[in-house]
Amino acid sequence: MALALTVAVPLVLAVSLRFGRLPLDRMARISLAAFLVIGWICWLILFAERGWLTIANGLPLNLCDWAMIALVVALLTRNQFAYELGYFWGLGGTLQGMITPDVAYGFPDPQFLFFFAEHGGIIAALLYLTLGTGLRPRPSSLPRIVIATLFYAAVAGVADWALATNYGFLRAKPSGTTLLSFMSPWPWYIPELVAAGILSLMVYYLPFAVLDWSRRKR
pTM: 0.88
Rounded to whole angstroms, the Cα distance separating 68 from 64 reads 6
Rounded to whole angstroms, the Cα distance separating 44 from 39 reads 9
Which comes out higher in pLDDT, residue 42 or 11? 42
What is the rounded average pLDDT of the residues 106-133? Answer: 87
DSSP 180-200: GGGSPSTTTHHHHHHHHHHHH
Q: What does the pLDDT look like over 158-168, one tens digit per residue?
A: 999 999 999 99
DSSP 8-state symbol, 74: H
Give φ, ψ of 31 to 5 degrees.
Answer: -65, -45
> What confidence tier does 18 reach under pLDDT thresholds 50, 70, 90?
low
Residue pair 35/153 in contact by the 8 Å Cβ criterion: no
Q: What does the pLDDT look like over 71-101, one tens digit per residue?
A: 999 999 999 999 999 999 998 877 777 777 7
> What confidence tier does 139 reach under pLDDT thresholds 50, 70, 90?
very high
Residue pair 87/204 in contact by the 8 Å Cβ criterion: yes
pLDDT over 70 at 22, yes or no: no
Residues 6+ positions from 72 with CB-CB distance below 8 Å: 33, 36, 37
H/E/C letters for each residue in 31-55? HHHHHHHHHHHHHHHHHHHCCCCCC
